[in-house]
Amino acid sequence: MRVMVVRPSRWEHPGDFPEFPKGTPVIVADEEDIDFFGWYACEIAGHKSYVPESFVSDGRLLRDYNPTELIQDVGDILEIQEIVYAWLYAMNSKGVTGWIPAERVISASKEKNEADKAALYRKLVYDVRLCTDCDAYTARGKKDKEAVKLEHDKNRRHINLWAEWQNSLNAEILLIGQDWSSLEQQGFTGEEYARHIENRIDRNELYCESYSSTDDTIIKHFRQSLCIDAERPNDKLFFTNSVQCYKTGSASNDTNDNWYTLCNQKYINRLIQIIQPKVIITLGGKALRGLLHCGGSFSDMQGTTLMESYFRKPINEIVDKGAILLHFADFVVTVCPVVHTGSREKYNRKGGDPAKDWREIKKHLR
């Protein structure tokens, strides 16, 4: 994605840092930077700088990292290579790379045409197919305590199986669930799930006779609260999960937080940039907290910055407070958190009414 600098980027001590390899020791400050969410003052191999919290674990870098900040003038064009907590890692016209705050740039092309979106999405799906980053992380099983891993779908046609159902790249609503259990456990492969949906559409049958009570509840809320038909493909909708691959074993098995972090950093952020929806609906606390790693910054509806501690509150408390805003370099998305749907939805929504929560979303679509 190309962006144009609209506020000059000048730093009193910009520094010209070497690239520090993965595993380099890092001394991180206890307090988050007051101006930039997710960034901390640090010392890397004797160099004082800043580092994103997601780049460090147990006092060492999780990846190669160069903290050099770009010096740019108004009108300069940059090519974004990565978005991390409202900062952009970009390359300028001279081939120099470095960091710049997202608030200092706007999109160089305000609207992507259909071909651009389709091409970006195909590349995104291709990258998800090949990804093995989460293989290093496991979770714990509920029943026999077996290690829960993620299984891949190398033949996927979309970022996630849910997108076989709703996949408009011009969607007004991006629905983000949490995760799916093993395809084998659910009794179908990715290709079979895709054919199932296509066959039902061809026969003009309703999707609500689905594999999942979660899907049925979602259809009900879209129909009754938002007056949107989600049974068949709808150009207002895109559905996916926060975790793009599928955990082994039972649907009740735990997940690993690193799965959410990596998938949002690498894929959900790109999906949001492609679609640029009006509203993101997150199902459950894990899907919402995953967005902390998608490269934007959060505020309440009045513009007050929300720090990470806000998202550590119980999901019911967050839902009670209502919608929040997710800010990117050149657009803003309204995020509407709801509890996870399905057979336990009413139990999950302690002290509240799920139907009312969904009705509140409608005002953000006007």
- In this prediction, residue 301 has a pLDDT band, given cuts at 50, 70 and 90, of very high
Rg (CA), the chain: 21
Task: List, as own/partner pairs, every contact residues 256-259 make where C-beta atoms lie below 8 angstroms and the sequence separation is at least 24, other chains included.
Answer: 256/134, 256/137, 256/138, 256/139, 256/148, 258/134, 258/136, 258/137, 259/134, 259/137, 259/150, 259/179
pLDDT of residue 156: 87
- In this prediction, residue 169 has a pLDDT band, given cuts at 50, 70 and 90, of very high
273 phi and psi angles, rounded to 5 deg: -65, -35
User: Structural domains in the chain?
Assistant: 2-107 (no CATH), 114-365 (3.40.470.10)
- Considering the chain, what percentage of its residues have pLDDT values greater than 70? 87
The pLDDT tens digits for 30-69 are 877 767 778 889 999 989 889 998 899 999 999 999 999 9
Global confidence as pTM: 0.70
The pLDDT of residue 117 is above 80? yes
Per-residue pLDDT, averaged over 174-184, amounts to: 84
Strands 332-338, 279-283: pairing is parallel
Beta partners for residue 39, in sequence order: 52
How much of the chain is helix, strand and coil, in % rounded to 5? 30, 25, 40
316 phi and psi angles, rounded to 5 deg: -65, -40
Q: For residues 45 and 16, give the distance between their C-alpha atoms in angstroms, rounded to a whole number.
A: 14
Beta partners for residue 49, in sequence order: 42
The pLDDT of residue 208 is above 50? no
Task: Tell me the pLDDT of the chain averaged across its residues.
Answer: 85
- In this prediction, residue 192 has a pLDDT band, given cuts at 50, 70 and 90, of low
Lowest-pLDDT choice from 53-57, 84-88, 173-177, 194-198: 194-198
